[in-house]
Amino acid sequence: MKKVQQGLGNPTVLRAGKQGEKFTMDTHIRCWRRYKVRPPKGSQTPWETDPKYCVYDKLHNDYGYTQEWVDFLIEELKDDAKFDAICKTVSSTPAK
């Protein structure tokens, strides 16, 4: 998540009256769901990922994400309209 946040220029957004990082775990979850990069938690077929972006780790029962995924997210989320469509966030300002 830090790589994406940094790649976006460390912007912040206003959430519940407080400034916070634009790219969070919630944002990441929304992104992998929207772009169908991996199956949902508890899937009977956790290995059915888009290998361009995500790889299932059977030993640890979790997922790893590729640099290509990071680069894709940075490019996609630079567009405020796309970010808003994913996260329904309306206010963003660059970090100081």
Per-residue confidence (pLDDT) for residue 64, from 0 to 100: 95
Query: How distant, in Å, are the alpha carbons of 34, 56, 93 from that of 7?
Result: 20, 24, 15
Structure tokens at 49: 């990922």
pLDDT at 60: 94
Look at residue 91 and give its three-state secondary structure. coil
Beta bridge partner(s), residue 63: 56
Strand partners, 18: 15
DSSP H or E stretch at residue 3: helix 2-7
**One-letter amino acid for residue 14 of the chain:** L
Tens-level pLDDT at each residue, the chain (96 residues): 788 888 888 887 777 788 888 888 999 999 999 999 999 999 999 999 999 999 999 999 999 999 999 999 999 999 889 988 988 744 444 444
